[in-house]
Chain A
Amino acid sequence: MSTEVTSCEPRAVPKLSAIPVSRRFHALLFVALAVGLCALPAVVSGYTMTLAVEIMIAGIFTSGINLLTGYTGLVSLGQAMFLGLGGYGIAIGTALLGWPLWVSAPVTLVVVAAIAAAIGAICTRTRGVEFLLITLAFSQMFYGAVVKLRWTNGSDGMTGIPRPDLSLLGVSADSPATFYYYVLAVSVLALLLLWRIVNSPFGSILVGIRENERRMMSMGYAVANYKIGSFTLAAMVCAVAGILQAQYTYFVSPDTMSWQTSGEGVLMVIIGGASVIFGPFVGAAVFVVVKQALSLITDEYNLFFGIFFMLVVAFFRGGVLGALSTLIGRRR
């Protein structure tokens, strides 16, 4: 029997001409994107930078949804609950309890993980529409709680959430450019972590569950545990976005937890391309830019955005990234 496994052998560094065109194209695209993102504050207006920050935060939030929906095949309408819990967690830690940010942020993530594991243990016993509805129900429950609770300041929300203290680096995170770089750094870190996760054995199990849950059980996997793991990790990613969102606006309100926010996240995943690591960021960029552009033209931008979304679903199979990849494939 053959024991030679080419894909796992150490690879020699190839000459540039030996690298396939697609890989060179991707590398070039990646370098251009990195340079562009780093140089952005120097070349664009404050408004554009604000949009870029919003896109990155939405991209992280959507990446959490994508882990659950795109990779594990569990469509949730409750992920805004964790976006909100991230925001409220940091607000309670810093503004209410007076803890420093470097304590509040990890404590928030641990608490969110514990809550998500408990909720996940219940929700992942269902699938399909039942899963969607039970996540929505939990989300609405937390929404109701933050509206009613006095110490979360009810529907007025909580203010006074600090940005990180970067005085050691000689900069202030209150400056738009510095905050942009801070969000960019967190986005890159989140993407790298997610990229490692989806390419790991754990990630391949999630894809297997999406493809055929019964087969995975029959292979010997305790599927329920992996689904809870995916639910928890996705919640933590959404909570990171929630922390950034609260720092960006210095504020968190119950609206963050609304079902519309969860729905928009799912839309971004579909627009960008599910189960593609960059899909959520592309989806977030298209969503934010198109919505902004439409709102400048008409007050009824939601109507036109709905039409735009239908066109994407009807004609862009696999979202924008899926359509791009098909187009590039055809040109070759």
Chain B
Amino acid sequence: MSALEIRNLRKAFGGLQVISDLDLRVPSGARHAVIGPNGAGKTTLFNIITGWQRPTSGEILIQGIPVQQGRPDLVTRGGLSRSFQKNMLLESVTVLENLRVACQAFHASRHSVFRPCRSFSDVVRKAHDAAEQMHLDNVLHRNVNALSYGQKRQLEVAIALCAEPKILLMDEPAAGTSPDERANLIKLINGLSSELTILLVEHDMDVVFAICDVITVLSYGKVLATGTRAEIQSNPQVIEAYLGQHHA
């Protein structure tokens, strides 16, 4: 069974067809990238998969179960978690609190109204583990608005991982990072469990090639090609529409 399956997906904004008849299968444990020029429909696709936008028609299945449209919280509970293109963090609280709140979402303590947060030590411990996994353990008690941009990108991914997802969607995780930060992020993502299915949207082809085995190219909301790095790099349509000669 595929971890993620998209069947005949269509999305139109008024008369503008952003995604048309899109089919995509991502097997469990795959590292799959979706690339394409600006306006190809990548972020819209992500928003539909994660429940933020409703498709005009079509079906999305996570582990064989249809996604409930319009409920991002239920999509996350269904095993699919995402990081955002622009940082979506709890800015005025600490890194630890961001991660603790993220871990708490899947713990019975989220219904607790009178017991102090710190009395749920397993949640705090899990937050510490998530920070360690993404090398944020040295800035745990720092407020998010005092972090570097690269650290914020790491926190984005760490928060998504707190949900212990089966599928992780990352929307341009390396956007705006310095070369050092990018290299660090690639190392951290490649260090994640091989059982985790990753779907990545990224413009930086070096990041895509460093992380993903399979690449799908979107153009004007349609799948232009799907294949391995070598297949994509040698595909004349992809070279013309997106890659150019530099990455070919």
Contacts and interface: CB of A to CB of B under 8 A. Distances in A.
Interface in B69-92: 72-73, 76-77, 81-82, 84, 88-92
A217 B111 contact: no
Interface residues of B, number: 45
Contact of B76 (A196, A201, A212, A218): A218
Secondary structure type dominating chain A contacts:
helix
A218 B82 contact: yes
Interface in A200-245: 200-205, 207-208, 211-212, 214-223
A167 interface: no
A7 interface: yes
A193 B114 CA distance: 8
Secondary structure type dominating chain B contacts:
helix
A3 B118 contact: no
Interface of A: 1-3, 5, 7-8, 193, 196-197, 199-205, 207-208, 211-212, 214-223
Interface in B87-125: 88-93, 97, 100-102, 104-106, 109-121, 123-125
A215 B118 contact: no
Pick the 3 closest A-B CB pairs, nearest first: A8-B121, A220-B76, A211-B90
Given A218-B50, A219-B163, A197 B114 contact: yes
Contact of A214 (B88, B111, B118, B128): B88
Given A202-B111, A219-B163, A223-B73, A212 B91 contact: yes
Given A5-B128, A201-B123, 18 more contacts: A2-B129, A3-B125, A3-B129, A8-B121, A196-B115, A197-B113, A201-B112, A203-B117, A204-B104, A204-B117, A207-B93, A212-B91, A215-B89, A215-B159, A217-B73, A219-B159, A220-B105, A221-B105
Nearest to A233: B113
In this complex, the member of A201, A215, A217 whose beta carbon has the largest number of chain B beta carbons within 10 angstroms is A201
A211 B84 CA distance: 16
A220 B77 contact: yes
